Amino acid sequence: DAKTTQPNSMESNEEEPVHLPCNHSTISGTDYIHWYRQLPSQGPEYVIHGLTSNVNNRMASLAIAEDRKSSTLILHRATLRDAAVYYCILLDSNYQLIWGAGTKLIIKP
């Protein structure tokens, strides 16, 4: 199974953009890149997903490298409510989400 690598934690100031990196050097051609986040004491929440092209939605943007070996989740203007653990996950052809330990995002007011 292809794996992802993320920094353990990151800090950012409130109302500034946040770029969360993810490496997935063993990704296969059909693996989708998914991002979920988990707020304290809650179940994970879907953020965004993509295959090859950059993606945007109301929550975030996903920038995917041309060789697909890495991607970056972009929160355009972080708020205190964005403090969470962010997971970069690959959905493989068996429909399984392979989770890592994620990045704990700390937002400073």
Partner 1 sequence: DAGVTQSPTHLIKTRGQQVTLRCSPKSGHDTVSWYQQALGQGPQFIFQYYEEEERQRGNFPDRFSGHQFPNYSSELNVNALLLGDSALYLCASSLVVTGNTDTQYFGPGTRLTVL
Distance CA 21, CA 50 (A): 15
31 is a contact residue toward partner 1 (CB under 8 A): yes
Q: Which of 44, 55, 61, 63 binds partner 1 (CB under 8 A)?
A: 44
Torsion, Cα 34 19 14 100, to 10 degrees, reads 40
Q: How far is the CB of 21 from partner 1 (least distance, A)?
A: 17
Q: How far apart are CA 34 and CA 47, in angstroms?
A: 8
Among 3, 23, 49, 61, binds partner 1 (CB under 8 A): 49
Q: Smaller CB distance to partner 1: residue 30 or 53?
A: 30
- What's the min distance (Å) between Cβ of 106 and partner 1? 15
Q: How far is 100 from 4, CA to CA, in rounded Å?
A: 7
- Site for partner 1, residues 88 to 107, rule: CB under 8 A: 91-102
Distance in angstroms (rounded) separating the CA atoms of residues 24 and 6: 9
**Site of interaction with partner 1 (CB under 8 A):** 30-32, 34, 42-46, 49, 87, 91-102
